Chains A and B, each alone.
Chain A
């Protein structure tokens, strides 16, 4: 399942919902992305996440379906927020559940690596020193590339 939303999410609630979906799951893995404080001196900073409504949901669904093809998952969940966020705020939650830990852990890493390079979100950072669009990083592409087949 995927959700794109402005509001925060409750990690415990989401994990509980996943674990109640199936009695045959033996492992639940999760990843939570959090806004880092970009102002080095501790001054105020914030981030605004822009996205492409429609394509975002489409890409997240595709990535989720790809994970379900590659690993025997009992359940999966991606929640990604947009809008204005402060340091410490949660941005993204990925939860995967499977009978065994390897599938759950690998699928979780795959989902976050792929969504970072494929889902149409952009971060705009504002700090006391100025504001700027966050640049894409080569090591995110490398992290995603390790899941490419062939």
Chain B
């Protein structure tokens, strides 16, 4: 899976993105976020506030129940502030 991080999430984690192999029991975006938080450190810090992290699966907004697989591009970022 290709993971992408933007804005404050990118800054806290210290990476713009990374390739990961999902454990077999992770099937949705909520499970993915919990798994990343479980790495602790900067991941736990970046993803600490559930209401503050938005998820996009293959460039479309998703939610905790959105299915994810190893073939997906998943982005994690804070609420948007353009315009």
Seen from chain A, the residues whose Cβ lies within 8 Å of a Cβ on chain B are: 33, 49-52, 54-55, 58, 80, 91-92, 112, 115-124, 133-136, 140
Contacts and interface: CB of A to CB of B under 8 A. Distances in A.
Contacts of B61: 118
A112 B83 contact: yes
Contact of B79 (A54, A112, A124, A136): A136
B81 A92 contact: no
Nearest to A92: B83
Interface of B: 4, 6-8, 10-11, 56, 59-61, 75, 77-83
Contact of B80 (A54, A91, A117): A117
Main secondary structure of the interface of B (DSSP, over half): mixed
Contacts, number: 73
A135 B60 CA distance: 22
Main secondary structure of the interface of A (DSSP, over half): mixed
A117 B59 CA distance: 15
B26 to A, nearest CB: 22
B8 A49 contact: no
Nearest to A112: B83
Given A52-B6, A122-B6, A33 B81 contact: no
Given A50-B7, A122-B77, A55 B83 contact: no
B83 A116 contact: yes
A91 B83 contact: yes
Contacts of A123: 81-82
A117 B7 CA distance: 15
A135 B81 contact: yes
B83 A119 contact: yes
Nearest to A114: B83
Contacts of A54: 59
B59 A58 contact: yes
Contact of B82 (A58, A122, A133, A135): A122
Given A120-B6, A122-B77, A133-B8, A51 B82 contact: yes
